Structure 1
Amino acid sequence: MPFKFKLGFCTDLHGSEYTFRRTLNIAKSKKIDYLIISGGLTAKDIVFVEEIGGMYLVNGKKVNLKNLTEDSLRSGKYLIVNKKEVIDDIKADKSKLEKTLAEIIADQFSRWIKIADEIYRLDRVLWSPAHGDIPQLDDILRGLGAKLVNDSVSFIEDVQLVSLGYGSPIQNSYREVSDSDIYIKGKSLLKDAEKDKVIMNFHMPPLNTKLDVIKVGFKKFHAGSKAVLDLINEYQPFVSLHGHVHESTGVEKIGNTTAINPGSIFQLGEPSIVLFDVYKEVKTIGTLSIGSYVIKNIEFVTTATMYM
């Protein structure tokens, strides 16, 4: 088994293909051994584009479809382009909207899987759909040959990756559960884990830390999960990885756990990825050798900025 590997982690791409491509290019240039792409993977916004005789309208205003399509790839939006009567029908029928959305997402991830393999290495990408991602995404990704790790215990070499994508209720989106359910689900996954070998990949950040601060006007609030904080304190994985709160890029030590949120600037089409080396340290006591994992060389990377 290797005694060192380099891991990359990004989260909350929200449908931005620019962010996705740039993240993969960073992974390639930095020679990352494994890349975890955590949820929300899918776009948050839908734009309805009405087609009339070769013209395109959004909310009654003429638009350039080519420019709008380019902007959607950058900022993460799904375009539904059709005649007015078809759009009105889709808007009026939730099942039709969900079917249309699933088709758009299936097409997007079919493209993304090919991009991942062309730029980086598909077999080294670990996908973790989470809060806000449609339930069908899991089967879409599996059908395309992607490695899913969400809501499970998986392995990176001999390190245990424990992943949970559920989020606290905020806006009646997909994969929302109560904080007590997050604790129950998380504890079920972590109960047999060896803490010295565990990377905890929980989409919700721990409550009341530097990783969960949001700004509303001039005020700041903590939007994390007490359940996640309690699980970190209880199981003390050597590293925990989080997302959800885009503006709280940072690192915080919680007991022996190094907790990290790389943040997200997907709206700009820019990547926000954290890289670090995972080392296996072996201590010999008499004839007994004991191995434990630590992380070193934490690096946050965007297109133009690197900082420690």
Structure 2
Amino acid sequence: MFFATDLHGSERTFRKFINAAKFYHVQILIMGGDVLGKLAVPIIREPSGNFRATLHGRVNRITTAAELTAFQDQLGVLGFYFKVMDEDEFLRLSADPAAVERLFQQLSLERLRSWIELAETRLAGTGTMCYITGGNDDFPEVLEALNRPDAQCVFAAEDKVLQVDAQHSLISQGFSTPTPWHTPREVPDAVLGTMIDKLIAQVDDPARCIFNFHEPPVDSTLDTCPQLDWSTDPPAQITRAGQVVLFGAGSKSVRSAIERTQPLLSLHGHIHESPGAVRIGKTLCINPGSEYGEGVLRGCILNLSAGQIDSYQLTSG
């Protein structure tokens, strides 16, 4: 199987994820959350026929169709959405935050549907199954697009017990504990624990179960990141003696579930800068990290047989 997470809308990274099935010769693809992008960029059509768009604080002047295509491709790699509009539409949207959110969700939904269609086409007839769950950054309304009665190769995994092969089951949960950014799918740690426990109660054999929980276990080295001051906007890194303070940002409930249940494997994401593989008791826990904005696919190949992990390899490319 191949696991990757936190693609955040990146077109190039998603295509690499789907192509990983053929490249790595795997029969199972698992995407671990934060599927959607984080930003939509207006591309403003000027009366002259040229375009302008602001990216990373810099105004880009676009004068040819080739430049427009190249800029849109650049946004796709970054995981950003875009809409070409005239000045009047831009001004109307700027004055209406609710309309901006509706547009963002519409663009998110369009890209997710295009990804599903691409994956179904690429995986058809290969025998490879793809399981996707959302993350804390993903809008529930958009994630509904994954629940399709005619699914052949691409399946919504969240809040379900799925049999991914004859020997192993998969349970997935994409919510996280609170973050400084107040993302769409956050709950208190105790509530997350209750959600996880309801899933575990449906598992027949935990020793042959794969956990796919977006948030990593606390203090596991899979959750190490800079500590932030939530009182500033945007949140600022806390420093001491000139050094950034690092801490374990993961979930106590996720760690407790792993310690109590001891599944075969536990897959995580959420903390992009903390890739690695560790054991909690007998359970192998993995966070491949994420470099989606560079178009780099980080992931992990795993070979499983009859309730054991024969091998695993973190990948980047």
Query: Same fold by TM (over 0.5)?
Result: yes
Residue equivalent to 2:97: 94
Choose 141-150 or 27-36, whichever is displaced more. Answer: 141-150
Residue equivalent to 1:77: 80
Q: What is the 5 A alignment of 1:28-107?
A: 28-53=22-47, 54-59=49-54, 61-63=60-62, 64-107=67-110
Q: What is the 5 A alignment of 1:224-235?
A: 224-235=250-261
Residue equivalent to 1:136: 141
Residue equivalent to 2:268: 242
Residue equivalent to 1:187: 197
User: AA paired with 1:295?
Assistant: I
Pick one of 160, 163, 179 that aligns with 1:155. Answer: 163
How far is 1:224 from its partner? 0.8
Q: Distance in 1 between matches of 2:109 and 2:252?
A: 34
Q: Distance in 2 between matches of 1:298 and 1:124?
A: 19
Residues 206-255 of structure 1 deviation map (CA, whole Å, 9 limit, x = unaligned): 00011001145633221111111111111111110000001111101001
How far is 1:61 from its partner? 4.8
How far is 1:277 from its partner? 0.8
Between structures 1 and 2, the one with greater strand share: 1
Say whether 1:209 aligns with 2:220.
yes
List alignment gaps of at least 5 residues for structure 1: 1-6, 281-292, 304-308
Q: Distance in 2 between matches of 1:90 and 1:134?
A: 20
Q: Distance in 1 between matches of 2:202 and 2:147?
A: 26
Residues 231-284 of structure 1 deviation map (CA, whole Å, 9 limit, x = unaligned): 11111111100000011111010011100001111010111110101111xxxx
Residue equivalent to 2:233: none
Q: Is the 8 A contact 1:211 1:248 kept in 2?
A: yes
Choose 207-216 or 135-144, whichever is displaced more. Answer: 135-144
Residues 124-170 of structure 1 deviation map (CA, whole Å, 9 limit, x = unaligned): 11111121111122322224734101122222124221110001111
TM norm structure 2: 0.84
Q: Distance in 2 between matches of 1:92 and 1:228?
A: 41
List alignment gaps of at least 5 residues for structure 2: 227-236, 238-242
Q: Distance in 1 between matches of 2:98 and 2:275?
A: 37
Choose 42-51 or 202-211, whichever is displaced more. Answer: 42-51
User: AA paired with 1:236?
Assistant: Q
How far is 1:14 from its partner? 0.3
Counterpart of 2:136 in 1: which secondary structure? coil
Pick one of 121, 142, 164 that aligns with 2:173. Answer: 164
Q: Is the 8 A contact 1:200 1:239 kept in 2?
A: yes
Q: Number of paired residues? A: 285
Q: Is the 8 A contact 1:28 1:120 kept in 2?
A: no
TM norm structure 1: 0.87
Q: Is the 8 A contact 1:133 1:175 kept in 2?
A: yes
User: AA paired with 1:246?
Assistant: H
How far is 1:112 from its partner? 1.2
Residue equivalent to 2:309: 295
How far is 1:110 from its partner? 2.6
